[in-house]
Amino acid sequence: MRQRLSVDAYLEGILSGDRVILSRGITLIESKLKNDRQLAGELLNKLLPATGKSLRIGITGVPGVGKSSFIETFGKHLTSLDKKIAVLTIDPSSKKSGGSILADKTRMENLAHDPLAYIRPSASGLSLGGVARNTRETMLLCEAAGYEIIIIETVGVGQSETLVRGMSDFFLLLMLAGAGDELQGIKKGIMEMADAVAINKADGKNKVAAQQAVGEYQKALHLFPKSDSEFATHVVTCSALENTGISELWELIREYQNLTTKNGFFEKNRRNQNLEWMHDHIRQTLVDQFYENASMKKALKSTEKLVSNGKELPLAAAQRMLEIFLKTKS
């Protein structure tokens, strides 16, 4: 195993934009080892003054919508404007083996070789929300390394893939046209959170269907309450294949950023996200402490047998386990 660096070595490397040290720093914060967690905490505290200056864009979409192709085309447009971008991609992990493919770099080969772009794939692990457990911390490291735009790609879309909204400034929902009833393919909750809906693959024979889909989504969005950001959710078409609608979408994001910066929503949203992060960390830490507790591990084995054999109700067993846990902490 490669030896960990000192906090100052990580700090100096990341602040100077060293991509190798940045990658090693992200590996550090993803580690579950106790010593690494402590080192990661020190590093994040020292990096904090250099964070928070980027624009964070969350991207999600239905299966087959072409998220990776879109992000590559969109990312290349941003780097053509001399923007430094970091793409944080999340691969789903197998519940059986815990493994993931982590193949996003191969799906974004052109962007991966762009000197202004940094792509970091991470496994989602057992985390919900379509993001990895340490996505927020990874984002801070990338900001400290000087990346102006952070793109967060979720594993997919559904009821649990909404956490990314709580860590991004602009939330983009990618959709397809001509795949049946478009409004049935997406959860209402995500539609309400989207700052823009982009109908991707609006090329060739799909152009007409894409324009029809725009009308359908615009009608649906009129039924939703007005956003606190005061920005009306836009529905647009784009094609990653033909590189159309990409520059217009970037201008739309810039328009959103300018509006929300002026009306104070941008900063308010960031403050609320920090509070969410704190509470999420409290919940996760309590879960970790529960399952890492030696007494609980022993008690759980016998309790799991009772529950699986139908001799104790799951709720009653859970309550009993929690009571035992609280006694070990008192």
Segment 197-249, tens digit of pLDDT: 999 999 988 899 999 989 888 888 888 888 899 999 999 999 999 999 999 99
> What pLDDT sits at residue 156?
60
Cα gap 29→41, rounded to integer Å: 8
The DSSP code for 164 is G
Cα gap 214→208, rounded to integer Å: 10
> What pLDDT sits at residue 218?
87
> What pLDDT sits at residue 192?
81
Distances (CA, A) of 242 to 63, 204, 237, 245, 274: 20, 9, 12, 9, 38
Low-confidence ranges of the chain (pLDDT < 50): 93-103, 125-131, 159-160, 180-185
Spell out the residues 6+ positions from residue 234 whose beta carbon is closer than 8 angstroms to its own.
195, 196, 197, 252
Contact of 141 with 25, CB cutoff 8 Å: yes
> What pLDDT sits at residue 161?
58
pLDDT digits (tens, 9 = 90+) for 133-156: 788 999 999 999 999 999 998 866
> What pLDDT sits at residue 284?
87
> What pLDDT sits at residue 96?
42
Distances (CA, A) of 144 to 100, 134, 151, 256: 27, 16, 15, 24
> What pLDDT sits at residue 166?
84
Cα gap 28→76, rounded to integer Å: 29
Cα gap 130→220, rounded to integer Å: 24
Cα gap 123→135, rounded to integer Å: 10
pLDDT digits (tens, 9 = 90+) for 307-321: 999 999 999 999 999
Domains of the chain and any CATH numbers: 1-50 (1.20.5.170), 52-263 (3.40.50.300), 276-329 (1.10.287.130)
Reduced to 3 states (helix: H, G, I; strand: E, B; else coil), residue 114 is coil
Contacts 24+ apart (CB under 8 A), 281-288: 284/133
The DSSP code sequence of 279-305 is: HHHHHHHHHHHHHH-HHHHHHHHHHHH
E strand or H helix that includes residue 151: strand 149-153
Pairing of strands 85-91, 149-153: parallel
